[in-house]
Structure 1
């Protein structure tokens, strides 16, 4: 039997609110053996992140209370004084947080921040710390570490920033690494690289890992043992293979059944709803299947498309010097063309920086394109006068990734939904209030919430409100930019199912921008894959997922975590690489890249000797 590195007995965490203590973690017990990985899985509000902060003693002492025994290497952490816990925190227990940009100081270089850890905890001099920082960055596979060490955080991609956080956590050779949702906001390829890296470093260092996530695919990839939490309690725990093969608790079964599995749509003619989870009971709720619609038969080149995009380009000038001379350009979108029909969903997929969100913003004219054509119902919208475009803007709406950022926090929900209708003169304020009630009912909420503010709702409810606001102008096209990527599995299922219902009932066309390939397979009719500003492959869902041709498409699909522990070692390790820079000289003229037709509705870009490894 392995020695217990961490032992938690009857842990209870409470917070002080309005003069009363409220328990959010209820008497949980678990242990972690040396050299093993334990995953705590659950949705937002389940208590998993609070548990990790309690282990690190990072909760504010005045407004939080930690009860129970937390023992690490035989030492009782829960009663240690601040000086003693600081010696353990960072040295023997390290933590990686979900968002590296908020964990790194934007005004200090990567090398300075890594060196500070080494000088503080390991007593190194400045030169020694810098040399060790370079070694650590090379250890976590950051290319050109000797030069990147002088970069500020904003110069690195999200995946590279997360590697810096891992390097920082490993700087003092900890015995236990706590990783709190370290891959949630990352692209699928970067996520796969981070998981490979953590496993490799664990083997080399022999450290233990506590991995906190809501992604069951990630759990299957990395965890030896799994703990499932619901509403602050452990509802099931055991070996990961047993949890996946023979789950005992209804909530565990519901979580597993709600996970989108790549390849599950083979033979399906149309998008299919997710199984939803009741967040109060943890039980699965079978979603009603929508009836057959014309959208099931849509092909790549619809006869009368709602949206036509041809040769779209968007460049951003880079200026320097006293006279702001253009010295280069960011080629964010390069020669992009596609159509979307009524009642169809075209998914635009790719890694961060590939240009998919810029494409969506250019279509909405939130950022005017450099060149190209955009037709809405056959009308060219780039040449429209401001007043005419304002009229046409009603026919296309945008749903953002973060609904809290897109809703005015000082404006009541009813006012936010009514505002577009009043601004466009579609109805009077009194008529708008009546229409708000209809819209809120349409998205599964009720008119009684109209007088509440955005902060009073969950993330999923806020996204429903954002959808109601988008529907208020009765659009024909909705651009959904990562609209479900930050949501828990149950909320994601509800919002996706809602979008499918609205498409069926209203004939909406969706441009669904995402990096979540499993969700894309479920919701889309056709898929366009972007790399470095260009569409490298476009076709029906079956074409892209069953017969991908471009190397980059294959790379994306191979990186998707499979929620099956028995297939853990079957995914090939991905070569560490960053997306190539889209910055070009000011006089650069892109060479045309022809598209090869595989089938009538399946096109692949000719890549020659240039393709991503």
Structure 2
């Protein structure tokens, strides 16, 4: 029997806080064999990332300590002198982090950063290291690698930056790659590309992979064995296929049951709440169907027509306008009270800019936005401020949306007081009611944002959005950063509030499985334009546009038996939206393929990933 490449025995990690040591990883043990992929799975706070950082000895030296053994090729990583450990890091063991921009130095070119590790660990000259860097960039499928060697990180998209980080990690041909949530922040198509890339590079290099994630669909796609962590302990471990077939621990069953599955809404006429699974017993609570009390309005609440938003690009000595980013191009849709319209697409497609343009957080260049028949784009500052009571926004990052120095009670009461919807006593009463409505205790009003979990902070943001009694809410990637079980709870809350208050949601997301669950209608955006729009069942059941089919094909399937079933994916980036000043957008034509289901007419040579000239 082959000896494990990495053998972790009874790993413990403690952090010092207020003069006392607090253990956060409790006796975790697992092995990684040569050429094997092992997934460490769990929600935020489960200890999976801390375990990986402990193995690499990257936790703070003065305020942390680790115990147990971590045998890598027979040597205990936790006992090696620091000088020896530095030789191991980046050479025999490499690590890819979740956010590539924090892993790359913004003032150094990517070529220099890759070459630096090659010169340090492999003793190459500068010229030889740069030649090897070009080869590595080709390996990770960076288009025109040689011409991009001297580009800075900010000139790459998120997916391409992650490829650069992978190239850096592979520079010294490591025997073990630790990938810490490398695809969590990426769009579904880019995530699929990165997973395919990692698998192909693993096959070519023969390396082992320790993959850290909370996405069970990703686990099913890549992992040979899985270790499930909760509260700093490994609660279940075994063959991935066996765990998916019959998980034994209630927490594992809860994780698997909470995963939204594409196609689960077939035949369902209306959005459904997610089943909630107990992490202690594994029992599944299936909420009853939402009451169908909403009647279609005579006219839409929101009517968007010809919405166009562009951003000037300035340069040169006098800062002249040299080009424009065509972020949103001639977008039209409507939305009724009690309805959810989802805008989906990859980063850079214009969906978030569309939502912000509707609320005039960004000033559009053209078009109209009618809210209850009144054009929001023609309102003056005072009238716009008054109209904004009827339309609010929930942002992706709840922590960035809340003032860390202000209690959540004050944050929720602030819009009530500013808009003179009540005095301080009435604002306190309304705040307590809103906290209870979003599933939080009214006595939490005195807490600060850092005292809440991510899911609780998002509930606070929803309560604040509801404070002025809006009729329209733009939810911009509002559940994308949440763990799967917390995501289910927040989505259920939004659906319940919609049913009870008649809210209209413009739901912006790249998570196709969640979109299928919550939507009445779906609009697919590519390069600032809507390429397909229609009822949810039509978009997911009979997609017409090549780009829509590409998005759906990229969704990971949480079933190891169907591993590798996805079609081959393009590896290029979304087209460049920068246009010359004299550029005139082509006139688009749409055809109706079924009632309410329209698709943009495209040519036979349409290809969503072909780069366009700037």
State the partner residue of 1:611. 607
State the partner residue of 1:292. 291
Indicate whether 1:98 and 2:98 are aligned. Answer: yes
Q: 1:311 aligns with which of 306, 309, 313?
A: 306
Alpha carbons 1:538, 1:603 under 8 Å: kept: yes
Deviation string 1:220-279 (CA, Å, 9 cap, x unpaired) is: 000000111111111111111000011111111111111000001001111111123456
Q: 1:480-491 to 2 correspondence within 5 Å?
A: 480-491=475-486
Q: 1:436-515 to 2 correspondence within 5 Å?
A: 436-515=431-510
State the partner residue of 2:612. none
Alpha carbons 2:275, 2:287 under 8 Å: kept: no
Please give the alpha-carbon distance, in whole angstroms, between the structure 1 residues aligned to 2:588 and 2:264: 33
State the partner residue of 1:563. 558
Indicate whether 1:74 and 2:69 are aligned. Answer: no
Q: 1:265 to 1:163 in 2, by over 3 A?
A: same
State the partner residue of 2:6. 6
Gaps of 5+ in 1: none
Deviation at 1:432, TM superposition (A): 0.6
Deviation at 1:569, TM superposition (A): 1.9
Deviation string 1:575-598 (CA, Å, 9 cap, x unpaired) is: 201000000000111011101110
Deviation at 1:529, TM superposition (A): 0.2
Alpha carbons 1:193, 1:573 under 8 Å: kept: no
Please give the alpha-carbon distance, in whole angstroms, between the structure 2 residues aligned to 1:11 and 1:322: 58
Alpha carbons 2:77, 2:85 under 8 Å: kept: yes
State the partner residue of 1:133. 133
State the partner residue of 2:84. 84
Alpha carbons 1:100, 1:158 under 8 Å: kept: yes
Alpha carbons 2:408, 2:447 under 8 Å: kept: yes
Please give the alpha-carbon distance, in whole angstroms, between the structure 2 residues aligned to 1:63 and 1:262: 44
Please give the alpha-carbon distance, in whole angstroms, between the structure 2 residues aligned to 1:385 and 1:106: 40
State the partner residue of 1:225. 225
Alpha carbons 2:290, 2:496 under 8 Å: kept: no
Please give the alpha-carbon distance, in whole angstroms, between the structure 1 residues aligned to 2:88 and 2:206: 18
Please give the alpha-carbon distance, in whole angstroms, between the structure 2 residues aligned to 1:112 and 1:449: 50
Indicate whether 1:188 and 2:188 are aligned. Answer: yes
State the partner residue of 1:537. 532
Alpha carbons 2:250, 2:278 under 8 Å: kept: no
Greater displacement, 553-562 / 26-35: 26-35
State the partner residue of 1:420. 415
Please give the alpha-carbon distance, in whole angstroms, between the structure 1 residues aligned to 2:479 and 2:324: 31
Greater displacement, 318-327 / 361-370: 318-327
Greater displacement, 346-355 / 76-85: 76-85
Alpha carbons 2:251, 2:278 under 8 Å: kept: no
State the partner residue of 1:110. 110
SS in 2 for 1:177: strand
State the partner residue of 1:36. 36
Please give the alpha-carbon distance, in whole angstroms, between the structure 2 residues aligned to 1:294 and 1:210: 49
SS in 2 for 1:248: coil
State the partner residue of 1:240. 240
Deviation string 1:6-65 (CA, Å, 9 cap, x unpaired) is: 001111111111222111111111101100000010000111001100111111222111
Q: 1:105 to 1:459 in 2, by over 3 A?
A: same
Indicate whether 1:548 and 2:543 are aligned. Answer: yes
Count of aligned residue pairs for this structure pair: 608
Gaps of 5+ in 2: 610-614
State the partner residue of 2:55. 55
Please give the alpha-carbon distance, in whole angstroms, between the structure 1 residues aligned to 2:266 and 2:2: 43
Please give the alpha-carbon distance, in whole angstroms, between the structure 2 residues aligned to 1:522 and 1:597: 24
State the partner residue of 2:20. 20
Greater displacement, 247-256 / 395-404: 247-256
TM-score w.r.t. length of structure 2: 0.97
Alpha carbons 2:337, 2:502 under 8 Å: kept: yes
Please give the alpha-carbon distance, in whole angstroms, between the structure 2 residues aligned to 1:284 and 1:19: 40
State the partner residue of 2:159. 159
Q: 1:333 aligns with which of 309, 328, 332?
A: 328
Deviation string 1:455-487 (CA, Å, 9 cap, x unpaired) is: 111111110000000000000000000000000
Deviation string 1:199-220 (CA, Å, 9 cap, x unpaired) is: 0000001000000000000000
* RMSD of Structure 2 on Structure 1 (CA): 1.2
SS in 2 for 1:288: coil
Alpha carbons 1:335, 1:534 under 8 Å: kept: yes
Please give the alpha-carbon distance, in whole angstroms, between the structure 2 residues aligned to 1:494 and 1:533: 31
State the partner residue of 1:579. 574
Greater displacement, 144-153 / 549-558: 144-153
Deviation string 1:126-170 (CA, Å, 9 cap, x unpaired) is: 111111111100000000111111111111000000000000000
SS in 2 for 1:2: coil
Structure 1 residue ranges, 4+ long, deviating more than 6 angstroms after superposition = none
Please give the alpha-carbon distance, in whole angstroms, between the structure 1 residues aligned to 2:487 and 2:164: 30
Alpha carbons 2:106, 2:154 under 8 Å: kept: yes
Please give the alpha-carbon distance, in whole angstroms, between the structure 1 residues aligned to 2:207 and 2:154: 30
Alpha carbons 1:25, 1:51 under 8 Å: kept: yes
Please give the alpha-carbon distance, in whole angstroms, between the structure 2 residues aligned to 1:401 and 1:2: 46
Please give the alpha-carbon distance, in whole angstroms, between the structure 1 residues aligned to 2:15 and 2:286: 36
Indicate whether 1:528 and 2:523 are aligned. Answer: yes
Greater displacement, 384-393 / 340-349: 384-393
SS in 1 for 2:98: coil
Deviation at 1:283, TM superposition (A): 3.7
Alpha carbons 1:69, 1:76 under 8 Å: kept: yes
Alpha carbons 1:196, 1:573 under 8 Å: kept: no
Please give the alpha-carbon distance, in whole angstroms, between the structure 2 residues aligned to 1:388 and 1:598: 40
Deviation at 1:537, TM superposition (A): 0.2
Greater displacement, 314-323 / 36-45: 314-323
Q: 1:384 aligns with which of 364, 379, 384?
A: 379
TM-score w.r.t. length of structure 1: 0.98
Please give the alpha-carbon distance, in whole angstroms, between the structure 1 residues aligned to 2:21 and 2:238: 31
SS in 2 for 1:372: strand
Deviation at 1:71, TM superposition (A): 0.1
SS in 2 for 1:444: coil
Please give the alpha-carbon distance, in whole angstroms, between the structure 1 residues aligned to 2:310 and 2:323: 10
Deviation at 1:447, TM superposition (A): 1.5
